[in-house]
Amino acid sequence: MTLSKHLLLAAGLLAGAPGAYAADPVKIGDINSYTAIPAFTVPYRNGWQLAMDEINKAGGVLGGRRIEVISRDDQGRPDGAASAADQLIGPDGAVLLMGTLLTQTAQTVSEIARQRSRPFLAVQPLSDSLVWSRGNAYTFRLRTSAAMQTAMLAEQAAKLPAKRWAILAPDFEQGQTLANDFKQHLKSRRPDITFTQELSSPLGKLDAASVVDALSQAKPDALFNVTFGGDLIRLVREGNAKGLFPKLPVVSPLTGEPDYLEVMADDVPAGWIVTGYPWYDIKTPEHRKFVEAYAAAYGEDPRLASLLGYDAMKAVAAALDKAGSTDPAKLAAAFEGLTVATPSGSITFRAADHQSTMGSWIGKTQLQDGAGIMTDWRYIDGAAVLPSAEAAKKLRPAN
């Protein structure tokens, strides 16, 4: 056998071997608020890196091409997101964009994706507008939206005897969207309830003492709370100190996520109805495998952001293989109706509105052995709380 034939044979064997790659890598552009909000973006990055490593070790995508992620920081600003998207689509050569946490950065990237005809997978933002009123042919969303989470919470809230509700929400789009969605969903289930008090404050600047005093004086039957981050911690500690919690029933999206429960520590109020992520109590083999792999890779337990990053990369790989190409139009078409196996079960990106059917865990807060956990939880499939395909299409722009 000649030397050239030996070389050709070796190349063929390597191309078919795990970890060997054909052609150039597929470049994916990642954008997120890494320096501005590291608590929710670094675990996200860990998640997609874990999934990318698994995919590449298994042979990559498109018959042997390695995935390569080029990651850029939007610094939590729309102009930062715009600059990152332009760089990734242009000089960096990314065939697809993914990421973002904040509504304003996600909307900026979504508009650029529309203008430049480049698929964008929004991973963490909640705003309904991203796939409905401002949706477009190239934008898809992974996480359970504001409307979906509030529908799940309203189902539980409607079972409370409470008739007079107070609302506490920060004055930015995501906070107000969650508040308005909850009011709509709860009112549809309980026409007898009224919203007697609506409190708002600048994000990150909650005057917890004033809010707790106002709630104590108004004496609502229950509270829908949308605060998070430092505002949530201040509210809980002030409410505990003044005896408002757990006396006042509270429904609170996101509060059951490990990030908040760990920071609240001994201050975790009992019995709040929340959405969250009880990773420690999800026993399915697929999820346990993810938890163990994540702990082995990073020496820590996963956050919800970790799972979202992992699922996002798995979805990207599945879309590439379904499309059989890196062509942007074919990738966008591949995402429509795409079904992906994830640690929490199978999800589908709906063709009607580009929202995934990823669900949420809903349960109650409890302090156990000095740590906050979710109890009495159950996982609700996102498909169960989404509008019909026909209704979803009517929520989107005509073109």
Residue 399 has pLDDT above 80, yes or no: no
pLDDT confidence band for 54 (50 / 70 / 90)? very high
pLDDT confidence band for 398 (50 / 70 / 90)? confident
Q: What is the pLDDT of residue 21?
A: 52
Domains of the chain, first to last: 24-145+285-359 (3.40.50.2300), 147-281+360-384 (3.40.50.2300)
Mean pLDDT of 274-294: 97
Residue 26's contacts (CB-CB under 8 Å, 6 or more residues apart) are 60, 61, 62, 65, 66, 67, 68, 95, 320, 326
Residue 283's contacts (CB-CB under 8 Å, 6 or more residues apart) are none
For 378-393, write each residue's pLDDT tens digit.
Answer: 999 999 999 999 999 9
Return the percentage of the chain with pLDDT > 90, whole number: 88
Strand partners, 121: 98, 140
Task: Please say whether the beta carbons of 168 and 162 come within 8 A.
Answer: no
For 234-265, write each residue's pLDDT tens digit.
Answer: 999 999 999 999 999 999 999 999 989 988 88
pTM: 0.93
What is the C-alpha separation between 255 and 245, in angstroms, rounded?
15
- Here the contacts of 112-117 (C-beta below 8 Å, separation 24 or greater) are 112/82, 112/85, 112/86, 113/85, 113/138, 113/139, 114/138, 114/139, 116/85, 116/89, 117/328, 117/329
Q: What is the pLDDT of residue 5?
A: 40
For 113-155, write each residue's pLDDT tens digit.
Answer: 999 999 999 999 999 999 999 999 999 999 999 999 999 999 9
Q: How far is CA 188 from CA 131, 182, 213, in A?
A: 23, 10, 30
What is the C-alpha separation between 65 and 337, in angstroms, rounded?
24
Tokens of 352: 């009607």
Mean pLDDT of 172-181: 91
Kindly tell me the sign of the dihedral angle through the C-alpha atoms of 351, 124, 368, 274.
negative
Give the mean pLDDT of the chain: 93
Residue 9 has pLDDT above 70, yes or no: no
Q: What is the pLDDT of residue 104?
A: 94
